Structure 1
């Protein structure tokens, strides 16, 4: 499981909760001045996950007004960028004269070395807390022209389409399900998050050419792999469909996977076989036939499926079903091998 530090103010009486939150923020590398209309009973939670220099923090709180002043910057300046995803509630951001309203599902971007103001509060009926996920990115780790980054400060970027959606899904998955990863995965997950963030920010700068070629390649590979995962059950899924969907040539797609030590077709096949093996050994799916399971994961031809399964696992699908169920560890190890080029 990924290492995570959690702070929950509800372990204290209501009158002491806001003080606990202020103490927490005072100890962080980016101290800020905080006010809240809910200070009298500040039920809040923060979860910190370090992905090898790409730290992500999940926040939940009633409402916050945050200011990063010049005085606080002089006290501590770790030279970080802050990329924040609002997952619920409404917010306002301001830096370098730009002020934006931030809606749920949108990103905003700051430089922690410059003064900025942020407010965030719950807005949906029946919700008492606002939520967000923040990524802290060292200046030196972001391979984009520093002088051009000011064009993005305090602005808003979508997290519901394109690379923004992929980055948002990544942040939600990693912060929401740390138990699905090994501690040793942290560095690789951080590299994936940084690649996605770099490419998204580069596109909003209208300067994708400023993004290093290898970063763009890895980000596109991650985008393609996520698409494959979502469409594994579609029997028509193949290299040409993937290339057309991502507006690249078939040759470009194959070249992308040359750096992943596999081919596009093999990547799809191995994922499908892994899903089939998982379902075949699931007691809850015992009533479903082998053919139904195979078809669910895109294998329309029973004979072809049997040959591919035997080649991969050294046994027939039926023998796999009749044998001892694989353990959760077996499934995780298999998924790690199949997805050795993907963070999730």
Structure 2
């Protein structure tokens, strides 16, 4: 991941540097802001191969990419943006959509477009933050003329595939150190399939997506369901299959070749949660057995065996190690 912060530059140089950074990492555009005299901003950009993710933090501004800025040699990219804070509007093809944390917006970088983003609340100069994804036209298995219907339109980020996409991207950019170099192509593929699923779902053409793309989307939905229900003692592969209207056999086939199973996801998720809770000083009043029960383990002996198998020591020893720092 590449990280940049204008705070290291003299105030007079910050805004020009930011404009150049946007041009190099995204597209050439005219940027206007009331805070150019001291433009304190930062960016984190992660190249996954096909996709480029970015988290941009900056003062309120207006961005305009006019027709004269677009060259036939420019890369053909779709730009997805999800404000993490702030509110505004995005425009393209005589359409205007709100920019806010509830939805992704999509624009085509080789067509004129613009956006404005301002801070929430009573402090006009407060920084805003946006998560962005650049996607090559050729990478999306959705017809371009259909995708054009979504330019400057909202893709809900709190429900359905959009919510899964938002959560997945935010985890990657928040903790890139958790992933090895070998994981990058896999992350790229999953993110691309989730983007395709979110856009196709908005257009009601999900059935037209390639089978592999639909399988990835279903697999991510299952994993998200498991994470949400880890504390339920009744969570099991059969319960997961029923919640997704699948046979148990179909559910197991869904994870073939991934190196894990639904049972493995449940067990690993519960153990990771238990390890965090055992290390949390605020939960010291709870016994080890109570921590296990909170995480979905109904039998203390089973919890202890599973924890020792995963970590090499007992839950009590883990709590003592955490207390010693």
TM bucket by the smaller chain? 0.7 to 0.9
Aligned 1:127-166 pairs, distance under 5 A? 128-166=126-164
Aligned pair 1:108/2:105, yes or no? yes
Which of 235, 238, 251 is the aligned partner of 1:237?
235
| Contact 1:30 1:76 (8 Å CA) reproduced | no
Which of 311, 317, 322 is the aligned partner of 1:321?
317
Gaps of 5+ in 2: none
Give the superposition deviation at 1:157: 1.4
Distance 1:249 1:67, change over 3 A: farther
Distance 1:44 1:306, change over 3 A: closer
Distance 2:202 2:311 in 1: 49
Distance 1:322 1:186, change over 3 A: closer
Aligned-residue Cα RMSD (Å) equals 2.9
Describe the SS at the equivalent of 1:94: strand
Q: What are the superposed Cα offsets for residues 170-208 of structure 1, whole Å, 9 maximum, x if unpaired?
A: 222222222333333222222221111110011011100
1:226 alignment partner in structure 2: 224
Describe the SS at the equivalent of 1:135: strand
Distance 2:310 2:119 in 1: 51
Q: How many residues align?
A: 320
Aligned pair 1:211/2:209, yes or no? yes
Give the superposition deviation at 1:287: 7.5
| Contact 1:57 1:134 (8 Å CA) reproduced | yes
Q: What are the superposed Cα offsets for residues 142-175 of structure 1, whole Å, 9 maximum, x if unpaired?
A: 1212221111111111111121112112222222
TM-score if structure 2 supplies the norm length? 0.86
2:188 alignment partner in structure 1: 190
Describe the SS at the equivalent of 1:74: coil
Give the superposition deviation at 1:135: 0.3
Gaps of 5+ in 1: 327-344
1:13 alignment partner in structure 2: 10
1:118 alignment partner in structure 2: 115
Aligned pair 1:41/2:34, yes or no? no
1:329 alignment partner in structure 2: none
Distance 2:218 2:80 in 1: 20
Distance 1:238 1:80, change over 3 A: same
1:65 alignment partner in structure 2: 62
Distance 1:82 1:323 in 2: 45
